[in-house]
Structure 1
Amino acid sequence: MRVKHKLLAVLAAAATVAAGLTAIIAVPAEAVPNTIPLKITNNSGRGDPVYIYNLGTNLATGQQGWADGGGTFHAWPAGGNPPTPAPDASIAGPSNGQSITIQMPKFSGRVYFSYGQKLVFKLTTGGLVQPAVQNPSDPNRNTLFNWTEYTLNDSGLWINSTQVDMFSAPYAVGVQAGDGSTKTTGHLKPGGYNGFFDALRGQPGGWANLIQTGPDGSVLRALAPTYGVETGLLPANVMDDYINRVWSKYSNETLTVTPFTDQPNTKYFGRVSGNVMNFTNSSGSVVTSFQKPNAPSIFGCAGLLDAPNDLVRGPISRTLCAGFNRSTLLVNPNQPDSSNANFYQDVVTNHYARKIHARMADGKAYAFAFDDVGAHESLVHDGNPQQASITLDPFN
C-alpha cells in the first residue's frame, strides 16, 4: 500500500500478513462473515476530535481502497503524478470516554486514528501514499496519529499494535472469540508512555534525536531507528561494534539457526569466511549467504538482511534480524532464543525496541519488523472472531 517507501514489505503490515499468516494458520470453527464489528473506545483523556480510517486491500478482488463505517468497500480512484488528493475516507471517531462500533471487512490493511485534525492521503499512479513523517515536508508531520494493522480473511482475524515505524499515540487491540473470551495486547504499563520518552531522552548516542515534537513543543512521536539512520538522526555506525564482534565470533564458531518451532530438526549452520556468513544445511551444502550487515539492514530487516517469502533464506534472515536487534547473537550460538532473558543486554543494541518492550504491560510489541520471531509480538488472533477492538489509551 505504501508507495513512498519500500519498507512496507517488512514493516508491521507485513508482520501481520507475511509473518503472522505464515506462522499462525488456523482453520475457523465457523465461516467468518464478510464483516465483523470493530469497537473503538476512547480512553485517551484528550478533548480533541478523533478521526478513523480503515484502509487496505480487498482480499476478494485485490483492489486497494477504504471501508466506510458500515464496512462497504470503496476502491481508490486513479492517482496522478504529482500525487492527487485521495477521497476523504475519514470516519468520525468517539469522543473521550465514549465508544463507537464500525464494521471491518475482509481486508489486509490498516486502521489509522488521528487526534485534532484529519490525515492527508494522496494517490499516485502506483496507489496510496501513506504518511511518512520521517520526511519533514510530509503533510502529516505535525499531526498526532497512529495505526494498527489487521488481516481478516476466511481463516479469522489477525490484529496487532505496531511501533515498527514509530512510537506514538498509545492504544491496544483485542479480539472476542466465539466463546465470549477476549484477547488483548498493546497496553502500556502505568506511566509507560511518558516513561518511554524520558528513557529515550536519557539514552546517549543520538537516540533522543528520534523524538519529534510539534510547533507548540508537544511530543508527537519517536521515529523508529530505521528512519533515524536514514535521515541522519542516528549515526550510521551505531551498530558497527556489535556487528564486528558477531562477525569475529562466527569466524571461529558455528551459529545454529532453527527457524521453525514445529520443525526442530530443520537447522542451518552459519560460519563467516571472507567477510561473508555462509549457511549450510545438515548435509553440508551452502543454502544462502549474507554479507556483513549494517545498521539500516538490521533496523529495517531489509537490504543485506533481505527476507524473501521462501522456506530457507527468509526464515534464516528473520532470525538474524531478531538476533541483531535483541543483541543475543554473542551470548547464544543457538538462535532464536527461546526466552527474553538475554534480550537487549549488550551496550550496543536496538535501544528503541528495548525501551518499548520494557514498558508494555504484557512485554509484547512490534518494535521492529520481525519482532514476532519467538512470539514476542503484540498480535492477537482468533479463527472465529465475533468482534475486534481498538482502545485509545491515556497519554501518561
Structure 2
Amino acid sequence: MKTRRPFSLRAITNSRRTALLLLLSFLFVNNTRSQSTVPFTLYNNSSFTDANVYVAVVGIINDNHVWLDTKTGTVRLMSVSDNTVAGPVIGGNQGPGNNGRYANCFAKLSEIPNKTINIPGIAGCRILISFNSQLYLYFFGASGAPSGYAAPNLANPTDPNQGIRYEMIELTNAANGLWANTTRVDSYQYPMGLEVWGNNNFYKKVGELKTHAQILSQWQSQAPAAFAGCYDATNGIIKFPSKTSAFQSGGAQANYFGAYIDAIWSKYTSGNLIFNAGDAGTWSGRVSGNVFTFTRTSDGAVGVISNKPTNTEVMEGSGVMASGGQWDKVVQAQVCAAINRHAIDLTLATGATQDFSTESKYYVTSPYNWYCKFWHQPDISLNSLTYSFCYDDVFEKSSTINAPSPARATITVGGYAGLTTSGVATVYKDCNYGGSAVGLNTGTYTLSQLNALGILNDDISSIKVNSGYKVTLYQNDNFGGTAIVKTSDDACLVDDSFNDLTSSLKVESNSSSFSTVIQAEDYTYMAGIQTEATTDAGGGLNVGYIEAGDWMSYNVTIPVAGTYRVIYRVASPNTGTTLRLEKDAGATQLGSVTIPNTGGWQNWTNVAHNVTLPAGTYAIGIATATGGFNINYLTITDNLSARMATQSMQQQLTVAENSALTISPNPVSNLLYLKGSEKVQTLTIFDLNGKEVKKVTKPGNTINIQSLNTGVYLIKLTRTDNSIKTVKIVKQ
C-alpha cells in the first residue's frame, strides 16, 4: 500500500453536476448500508486536553470526495459552501477561495460522542488530528475539476497551516477488509498509535513507544550531520529529508544517493541484476541507455524503470519510480526500497540472485536513508514497523494493518509511552487478568456498546485501572444505581451475582482538581517573538526576543468559572519588566505581574498572580508594554495553595546547586535515576498545586514514579548537609 497518492481532479460539465451529486448522495446511502462500518475510538495520551485536539475525516466514496461530520456520523459531499471558517492570512495568501475561508470540517475531541467515529466503506481516507487549532483545508467540491481539497503544504511559507502541529491515520475500508496505517512519509509531528481488532481473533498494533520530548531528544543525539537539518526546532517536528533545503536542488545533500545510483546503473549495463521480490516473483534486469528493463523469470512479465532516477525520486518514490503499468511499479517499488535501505549489494557478481528481504542488511552500508533507519529502531516504533518512506511496505516493514474482517480500531494520540493497556482501563474475562481483554478510554458505555466491543455483562471478571482514573459500574443502562467504584490499579471484581447485573459502566478521571501546563512555544498566533533552546529543567524551547508590543495567543479550556492561579516560568537580566494576561484580543485585561531581574536570560524563576476566568474554551494572550524577558511555560491551576508552593520552591531554587547530583531521564515514564544519591537524605515530590505526592528517605539510585499521573512535578532533594536542590520533571 503506497501512501501519498494525490487525489485525482476530474473534469465534468456544470450541466451534469447537479444531477450527478443527487445520484451520488443516493449511492452514498446504499454503499454505507452494504459496507460494514468500523468504529475508530480515539484515546488521548497526549499533553493536550480533549478540547485542544481537533479531528476531521476526509476521503472518497463512489469516486466522490466526502467528509464525515464526526459529531453526528453523517457523510457529506465536499462543497465550496463548506468553506466558512476564517483562517490566518500569511504573506497576503487568502487561500484558493481568495477570501481567507476554509472548510468547517473539524470537531474537538471533546465534542465527539464517546470519542468514537464510525468509518463507513471509504477509500483514500485520512483521519486528520491537529493540536490547539483546526487545520485549514479548502474544499473544491465532490467531483468535477477541480475537486477534492487543498491539504497542508508546509513547503509553502504562506500556507495557513504553518505552525499547526498535526498527524494523520490513512485508511481504506473496502470489500477486502480494512487497510490502515500511521505515517512518517512526509514528517513526524507527534507520536501516534493504531490498533485494530477483527473476527477470528485478529489483532495488530503499531505506533511509537516514546514521548514526543524523548523522540526529539533521541533524534538530536543520534542524527548524523547530513540529516541533522531534518529537525525543525522552531516547530518541534522532524521533516522527511527531501522536504528540507539540504536535500533539495542546490543543497549540500542534493546528490546524497547520486554515487550509489550511478554505480548501480553502471554495473548492470554489462550484466543482470537478479532479485527475489517475494510474492511478486524473481526478476532479472539490465540497463540500456539508462532504461532499466526487468523480466520475471516465471512468466516473462516485463517491468521498466524508464530512466536513471534522481535523488529526490529515489527518496520519495516519485517520477520514474512511480510511473507506468502494474509490473513497472512492482520493480520500481522493489528497487526504490532497496536503494533507500542500501540492500543492493554491488560487491556481488552480476547474475547472482539477491534477496532484498534480508532485514539484517538494511541501513548498514552507506549511503542509506538514515531518517528511515531512525523510525525503524525498536525502541522508537513497536516491532520496528513504521511508514518511513512510501515503499516501506515492500517486504512488510511498514505500519500497515490489513484486517480482512475488522471489528473496531483504536487511535492512541500521543503514542504508547507510559501505557500498559489500550486505554485507561482494561476489562478481562478472567479474574486473574487473563482471557480476552478490551481496553476502555474515558467515557460512558451502555450494554449495547459493551456488547459491540465483545463484552457481555457476565463477562466482566477483572478490571485494571490506570492511576488517576476510576471505573464505575451500574445496574441499568442510564448510569444510575452505582454498583461499585474502583480507583486504583489491580482492582479485581469476583462477584458473580454482580457481574450478572452489570449493564453499563463509566470510565473517568479520578482527579477533582484542575491544572494545566502550557508551553510558551505552543502558541496559536504571535507577533514579534522567537523561540530558542532553553537550559531550564526539562530542556526544550522557550520564547524569547520579547520586545514592547509583542504578544502570544494560546487556546485554553477552563472547566468552571472561578479564580485561578497563573504561574509563569520566566527569566530576565532586566529590572521593571512586566507581562499582562488578556482575552478577547486584548479587550479584557485579566491581570499583570512584574518580572524580577533573575541575573540572566537562562536564570529561571516563577512569578504568579490570581485571575478570574470564565468557563469554556477560548484564547488568552500574553502581552507586554516593556519586553525584555523570556518565558518557558505557564501553569493554570484552581488550587490557590499553589501560591505557597511557588513561594517555597522559589526560596529553594536560590540554594547553591551541586552539579554532581542529577536526575534522569526527563521527561520520564516510570523510573527516575538519581546520580549522587548517597548525598541525599530525603526526596520529596510535589505537584504544581503544592501537594506532596511522594516522599522517600534515603532514596537510592532508582525511584519508581509509575503511580503518578501525567503532568509536571517539582522534586525537592534534601542533602545530608541540609542544603536543597529542586528539579522540575515531566511525567509522561
TM-score category (smaller protein):
0.7 to 0.9
Distance of 2:357 and 2:396 partners within structure 1 = 9
Relative distance call for 1:361 and 1:36 in structure 2 (3 A) is closer
Q: Which has the larger radius of gyration?
A: 2
1:355 aligns with 2:374: yes
Amino acid at match of 2:319: G
1:51 aligns with 2:71: no
Aligned to 2:319: 303
Moved more, 140-149 or 282-291: 282-291
1:146 to 158, 167, 177: 167
Give the unaligned 5+ runs of structure 2.
Answer: 7-32, 84-93, 141-145, 418-666, 668-732
CA contact (8 A) 2:194 2:206 kept: yes
CA contact (8 A) 1:172 1:390 kept: yes
Q: How does 1:56-95 map to 2 (within 5 A)?
A: 56-58=59-61, 61-69=62-70, 70-78=72-80, 83-84=96-97, 85-94=101-110
Distance of 1:226 and 1:159 partners within structure 2 = 24
SS of the equivalent of 2:171 reads strand
1:370 aligns with 2:388: no
Relative distance call for 1:179 and 1:263 in structure 2 (3 A) is closer
Give, in angstroms, the shift of residue 232 of structure 1: 5.9
Aligned to 2:262: 244
1:185 aligns with 2:177: no
Give, in angstroms, the shift of residue 106 of structure 1: 1.5
Give, in angstroms, the shift of residue 337 of structure 1: 1.7
User: TM-score scaled by structure 1?
Assistant: 0.81
Relative distance call for 1:384 and 1:334 in structure 2 (3 A) is same
Give, in angstroms, the shift of residue 249 of structure 1: 2.9
Aligned to 2:359: 340
Aligned to 1:5: none
Relative distance call for 1:65 and 1:263 in structure 2 (3 A) is closer
Moved more, 339-348 or 282-291: 282-291
Distance of 2:280 and 2:120 partners within structure 1 = 34
Distance of 1:52 and 1:91 partners within structure 2 = 5
Relative distance call for 1:170 and 1:336 in structure 2 (3 A) is farther
Distance of 1:197 and 1:233 partners within structure 2 = 21
Distance of 1:192 and 1:256 partners within structure 2 = 42
Distance of 2:323 and 2:383 partners within structure 1 = 28
1:197 aligns with 2:219: yes
CA contact (8 A) 2:293 2:304 kept: yes
Give, in angstroms, the shift of residue 335 of structure 1: 5.2
Aligned to 1:112: 128
Relative distance call for 1:110 and 1:375 in structure 2 (3 A) is same
Distance of 1:32 and 1:375 partners within structure 2 = 30
Give, in angstroms, the shift of residue 393 of structure 1: 1.9
Amino acid at match of 2:3: L
Relative distance call for 1:233 and 1:107 in structure 2 (3 A) is farther
Relative distance call for 1:335 and 1:159 in structure 2 (3 A) is farther
Distance of 2:295 and 2:407 partners within structure 1 = 45
Aligned to 2:641: none
What is the alpha-carbon root mean square deviation over aligned residues? 3.0
Give the unaligned 5+ runs of structure 1.
Answer: 1-8, 15-30
Q: How does 1:150-189 map to 2 (within 5 A)?
A: 150-179=171-200, 181-189=202-210
2:338 to 323, 330, 342: 323
Distance of 1:245 and 1:63 partners within structure 2 = 45
- Determine which structure has the larger strand proportion and give its number: 2
Q: How does 1:213-292 map to 2 (within 5 A)?
A: 213=233, 217-219=234-236, 221-228=237-244, 229-230=247-248, 235-259=253-277, 261-262=278-279, 264=281, 267-282=282-297, 288-292=304-308
Relative distance call for 1:256 and 1:307 in structure 2 (3 A) is farther
User: TM-score scaled by structure 2?
Assistant: 0.45
Moved more, 289-298 or 138-147: 289-298
Distance of 2:251 and 2:159 partners within structure 1 = 17
CA contact (8 A) 2:122 2:172 kept: yes
Residues 217-251 of structure 1, C-alpha deviations (whole Å, 9 max, x = no match)? 351x2221232334766632111121122223323
SS of the equivalent of 2:376 reads helix
CA contact (8 A) 1:66 1:89 kept: yes
Amino acid at match of 1:210: C
SS of the equivalent of 2:335 reads helix
Give, in angstroms, the shift of residue 210 of structure 1: 2.0
Aligned to 2:539: none
Residues 315-335 of structure 1, C-alpha deviations (whole Å, 9 max, x = no match)? 011101101111111267645
Aligned to 2:621: none
Distance of 2:304 and 2:358 partners within structure 1 = 27
Relative distance call for 1:165 and 1:233 in structure 2 (3 A) is farther
Residues 268-298 of structure 1, C-alpha deviations (whole Å, 9 max, x = no match)? 2122344443324448897534322111110
Distance of 1:102 and 1:13 partners within structure 2 = 24
Moved more, 39-48 or 245-254: 245-254
Aligned to 2:520: none
Distance of 1:104 and 1:142 partners within structure 2 = 29
Relative distance call for 1:387 and 1:291 in structure 2 (3 A) is same
Amino acid at match of 2:279: D
Aligned to 2:232: 212
Give, in angstroms, the shift of residue 32 of structure 1: 7.3
Distance of 1:344 and 1:78 partners within structure 2 = 46
CA contact (8 A) 2:344 2:356 kept: no
Relative distance call for 1:99 and 1:209 in structure 2 (3 A) is farther
SS of the equivalent of 1:386 reads strand
Distance of 2:301 and 2:394 partners within structure 1 = 25
Amino acid at match of 2:388: A
CA contact (8 A) 1:42 1:94 kept: no
